[in-house]
A = this chain, B = another copy of it.
Amino acid sequence: MIIMVGISRILSLILLVSSCIFINLSTVPAAATSERKFTWEISYQYKSLDCYKKLAVAINGMTPGPTISAEQGDTIVVDVINNLLMENVAIHWHGIRQRGTRWSDGTDGVTQCAIMPGETYKYTFVVDRAGTFMYHSHYGLQREAGLYGLINVSLPIGVSEPFNYDFDRGIILSDWFHHSAYQHATGLSSITFQWVGEPQSLLINGRGNYSCSGLAASVCNSTNPECLPSALTVISGKTYRLRIASLTSLSALSFQIEDHEMTVVEAEGQYVEPFVVKNLYIYSGETYSVLVKANQDSSRNYWTSINVISRQPKTPNGLAIFNYYPNHFHKFPSTNPPLGPLWNDTRSQIIQSRSIKARQGFVVTPPKKPDRVIVLLNTQNTIDGYIRWSLNNVSHTLPSTPLLIAMKENITDVFDPNPPPEDYDSANYDIYSVPSNTNSVSSSSIYRLEFNSTVDIILQNSNSMTENVSESHPWHLHGHDFWVLGFGEGKFNLSRDNQSYNLVDPIMKNTVPLHPYGWTALRFKADNPGVWLFHCHIEAHFYLGMLVVFESGVEKVGDIPMSNYGCGKTKA
């Protein structure tokens, strides 16, 4: 009898501990629309996320950072205290459109001066719709140092999702370099270009497992409990909503759970017409909700795995445990973890991209025609011998004066006033070959969009500077969602390919992949006054110029808080 009680207690404890390991998003807020306040201290901390001990940028000692759980309509207030000694910080609330709070977008060089060591900055914004979002550093290469987390916005009490589930869990996917962001950046901006190599590990909820062989235990200890695989504990027969976010610095991923199918139901705050997958392709900056039913053999655990796609993988798959209660949450399945799909099966990636459509009953119909079409050829280039990435042969730079302040206040000489190119020489450009001339130019020019106009963006991929290599690029738009009109292979042809656009039930998203040698067509309404980044979410590509800036209706932006000032030309 005593023994029985003991076991029961242990099992309860296991259940409690294991649910804590997976980030728990199921807390339903008690009150309606309210203000939720957080105080975050940012500091360097030694972490052994994949058993290898290195410095990480942590929030209140944690990486990934704490999940923000809120209800639609809530105001979020985050006091960010920078304790990084010599390094600044800025935090972007990825997927939050910042309507009415343009200055809170957290993008260094665009909406604010970075927060200096010793300073406290207050982010205030409204989470105006339910869904799965994320936050992360938008400063230098600081995201890859570990500054990221999840934002989970629930519906108001009394409003139901158009699908059913029993529990809600957050899953953060990331990749992990053993080099510091400074080492990474120094290599990227060296002649000759020095690549630090692929990430050492893939992490699921901040846990990976690097092979420590040959390293001192003080540096890498594979028995460190910090790097035990994370576990998602489930109860047989129940349905789980997994809110999955990719915060990778570099890697595109496929996510799968051994022997379990997933139904995709949400993408970045929009309901998806449900479809079933065995693996979910997910690109950096994307979030999805999938439903998983715990309908397999409950006497054992199963593997969850992630693997690198659309880039020759040199990083081992990341693993976690799909734990059927009451099995021990750290009991490794005796089966082999799922390997995931072939990294270069681009066709299947495009098929999944095309499958993501707005859910019937929740379709927001796009305008029939755009007012303007901007075609962006994505290329890898050189400028004075340095490797860069460019759009229509322009590699973009951000000034040290935030553009939102500069444009609203007419501070001169901050950016190039000449408009950047809206197209490239499509007829004569061979997207399948290494360009014979890789030279490009650097510019701080801006696309100025008529307020409330409808803009189409055609992203066109090409061969990189390496033969037979075209990298995928996850493009992310700040301040807006766009309609995803289509994906294609090869070179986009406006008069032909716009016939294939999905104008019936396109999903609205803020991040979308551009597939190797392919094109992606987007449409958005420039209806959010401000200055907004649109960029590749691979941190190194962004650092090397793979971004554009959109301005629209900046004169309508209200008073920018003084705390956003202080750098570049915004000193007293």
Contact = CB atoms under 8 A, between A and B. Distances in A.
B141 A566 contact: no
Interface in A177-205: 180-183, 185-186, 190
Contacts of A482: none
Interface of A: 43-46, 55, 85-88, 109, 113-114, 116-119, 139-142, 180-183, 185-186, 190, 399-400, 562-563, 565-568, 570-572
Q: How many copies does the complex hold?
A: 2
Contact of A566 (B117, B142, B566): B566
Contacts of A562: 571-572
Given A46-B186, A86-B181, A139-B86, A119 B568 contact: yes
Contacts of A570: 566, 571-572
Given A86-B139, A139-B86, A182 B567 contact: no
A186 B87 contact: no
A400 B182 contact: no
Contacts of A86: 87-88, 114, 139-142, 181-182
A43 B183 CA distance: 12
Nearest to A86: B140
The 7 residue pairs across chains A and B that have the minimum distance between CB atoms? A118-B400, A566-B566, A86-B140, A566-B571, A565-B572, A565-B571, A85-B140
A116 B88 CA distance: 8
Given A185-B85, A565-B566, A400 B45 contact: no
Given A44-B185, A562-B572, 4 more contacts: A46-B190, A55-B180, A86-B140, A87-B87
Interface centre among A46, A85, A87, A109 (most CB of B within 10 A): A85
Contact of A572 (B114, B139, B566): B566
27 contacts: A43-B186, A44-B182, A55-B182, A55-B183, A85-B182, A85-B185, A86-B88, A86-B114, A86-B139, A86-B140, A86-B141, A87-B88, A87-B182, A113-B566, A114-B116, A116-B400, A116-B567, A118-B568, A119-B400, A119-B568, A563-B571, A565-B572, A566-B566, A566-B567, A566-B570, A570-B571, A571-B572
